[in-house]
């Protein structure tokens, strides 16, 4: 089947924690040249002359690729590319084993749903790496077996975190940020939570709330912790387009009707996000400037990750009844030893005009305030004290003070 593909075919594969490594190994040994398109790829991809790595969100597995083709796009728009400019010749999806005549995309519906549709429309090949370790999930993740041209069964581990983290109090700056973020979240809110320092630090404080819901690009073990604490509304489905976490998380997801895995065009649709009650989008960035702009994508002009769904969720959250978009980060980068609050971002801007910017220094209110007040708040409430004098000088030069 692979030999029937055109020269240098574009192959779209499941990404994040659902990479179909075994099928990629076979493709690598079969095709002299191909373009591999996937999101947030982990390490271990085939990497040699003849392979182009293509993505709209760069993961560790592609970040140092000498043949990286980065295609800027908000995550909600990536599936559209597959029917316009990045036409797939084949899709390799990492699926569950068959269940009642169907396969499931498991932990990664994401952009694969759109890729499958675009590939089918142009007569391409749809291949499943069906894994006994992949949980069966519902929603847009479900497909009839007949939808696949080939099914290659495996029983291999899926990328996991070492173990499920427990909800416990964070320490230092992380604890301060987590408590400040959680102070803005109320009973019945809908959360966008990912992986990282800010969500982990926020969880212990959210565990005290009631009636929470999840509508997110992705989720991880934090959901289990909130369920254990009785903070989640059991009547609301946990809705996302992909998941990444521990083996315990994947076991819990398997055939769980409370989990609804939807295509990215739905989960990241600002209009759909805006319909969620008290939608609270919690994001982070590499830098924030005095205009309230955030850079979460590039370092010294070199692409580090991508737009992802940050803009999608910020726009949607701001339109939600009682919604808010929070940008949370440390005021000082501990490794680079530089301020994360800068006068003016020199990189391409990822997002802007959040509800508030939160650091361990405090909460800077942004949305609805004039630019002079925004600047005052960012410097006095969010910036590290050691750089505030310098930032005020730059603020005057920028006409913000």
Picking from 97, 126, 154, the residue at the C-terminal end of a domain is 154
Q: Which helix (H) or strand (E) holds 316?
A: helix 310-319
Residue 162 lies in a domain: no
Q: Are residues 176 and 148 in the same domain?
A: no
How do residues 65-82 score in pLDDT, each as one tens digit?
999 999 999 999 999 999
Q: How many domains does the chain have?
A: 2
Q: Are residues 200 and 320 in the same domain?
A: yes
Residue 213 lies in a domain: yes
The average pLDDT across 347-371 equals 96
- Give this prediction's pTM: 0.94
Which pLDDT score, from 0 to 100, does residue 51 have? 98
> For residue 84, how many other CB atoms are within 10 A of its CB?
9
CA gap 361, 380 in Å, rounded: 9
The average pLDDT across 303-312 equals 93
How do residues 16-65 score in pLDDT, each as one tens digit?
999 999 999 999 999 999 999 999 999 999 999 999 999 999 999 999 99
Which pLDDT score, from 0 to 100, does residue 363 have? 98
Which pLDDT score, from 0 to 100, does residue 115 have? 98
Q: If you average pLDDT over every residue of the chain, what do you get?
A: 95
Which pairs from 40-47 meet CB under 8 Å and 24+ separation?
A: 40/15, 40/16, 40/305, 41/15, 42/16, 42/17, 42/159, 44/19, 45/19
Residue 111 lies in a domain: yes
Which pLDDT score, from 0 to 100, does residue 335 have? 86
Helix (H, G, I), strand (E, B) or coil at 396: helix
What torsion do the CA atoms of 68, 92, 129, 14 make, to the nearest 10 degrees? 50
Residues 6+ apart with CB under 8 A from 318: 324, 325, 353, 355, 367
Active site residue ranges:
217
Which pLDDT score, from 0 to 100, does residue 42 have? 95
Which pLDDT score, from 0 to 100, does residue 199 have? 84
Residue 212 lies in a domain: yes
CA gap 230, 45 in Å, rounded: 40
Q: Are 9 and 122 in contact (CB under 8 A)?
A: no
Per the structure, the complete domain to which residue 105 belongs is given by 2-154
Taking 90 as the threshold, does the pLDDT of residue 269 lie above it? yes
How do residues 111-140 score in pLDDT, each as one tens digit?
999 999 999 999 999 999 999 999 999 999
Confidence of residue 163 (pLDDT cuts 50, 70, 90): low
Q: Are residues 72 and 193 in the same domain?
A: no
Q: Are residues 262 and 335 in the same domain?
A: yes
Query: What is the percentage of the chain residues whose pLDDT exceeds 90?
Result: 91
Confidence of residue 166 (pLDDT cuts 50, 70, 90): low
């Amino acid at each position: 089947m692979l030999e029937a593909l055109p020269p240098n075919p574009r192959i779209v594969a499941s990404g994040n924690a659902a990479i179909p490594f075994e099928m990629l190994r076979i493709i690598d040994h079969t095709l002299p040249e191909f373009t591999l398109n996937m999101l947030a790829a982990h390490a271990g991809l085939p990497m040699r002359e003849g392979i182009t790595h293509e993505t709209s969100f760069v993961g560790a597995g592609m970040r140092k690729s000498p043949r990286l083709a980065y295609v800027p796009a908000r995550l909600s728009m990536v599936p559209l590319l597959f029917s316009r400019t990045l036409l797939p010749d084949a899709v390799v999806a990492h699926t569950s084993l068959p269940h009642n005549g169907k396969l499931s995309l498991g932990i990664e519906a994401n952009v694969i749903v759109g890729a499958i549709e675009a590939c089918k429309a142009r007569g391409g090949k749809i291949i499943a790496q069906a894994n006994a370790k992949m949980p069966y999930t519902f929603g847009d993740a479900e497909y009839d077996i007949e939808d696949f041209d080939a099914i290659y069964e495996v029983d291999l581990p899926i990328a996991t975190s070492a173990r499920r983290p427990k909800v416990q109090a964070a320490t230092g700056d992380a604890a301060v940020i987590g408590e400040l973020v959680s102070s803005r979240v109320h009973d019945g809110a809908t959360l966008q939570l990912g992986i990282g320092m800010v969500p982990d630090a926020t969880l212990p404080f959210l565990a005290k709330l009631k009636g929470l819901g999840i509508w997110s690009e992705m989720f991880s073990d934090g959901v289990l912790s909130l369920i254990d604490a009785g903070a989640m509304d059991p009547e609301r489905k946990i809705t996302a387009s992909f998941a990444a976490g521990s083996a315990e998380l994947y076991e819990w997801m398997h055939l769980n009707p409370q989990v609804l895995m939807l295509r990215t065009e739905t989960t990241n649709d600002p209009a759909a996000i805006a319909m969620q009650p008290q939608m609270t989008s919690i994001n982070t960035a590499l830098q924030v400037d005095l205009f309230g702009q955030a850079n979460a994508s590039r370092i010294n002009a070199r692409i580090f990750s991508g737009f992802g769904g940050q803009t999608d969720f910020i726009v949607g959250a701001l339109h939600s009844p009682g919604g808010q978009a929070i940008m949370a980060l440390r005021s000082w980068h501990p490794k680079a030893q530089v301020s994360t609050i800068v006068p003016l971002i020199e990189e391409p801007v990822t997002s802007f005009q959040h509800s508030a910017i939160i650091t361990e220094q405090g909460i800077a209110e942004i949305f609805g305030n004039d630019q002079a007040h925004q600047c005052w708040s960012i410097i006095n409430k969010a910036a590290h004290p050691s750089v505030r004098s310098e930032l005020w000088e730059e603020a005057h030069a920028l006409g913000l003070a």
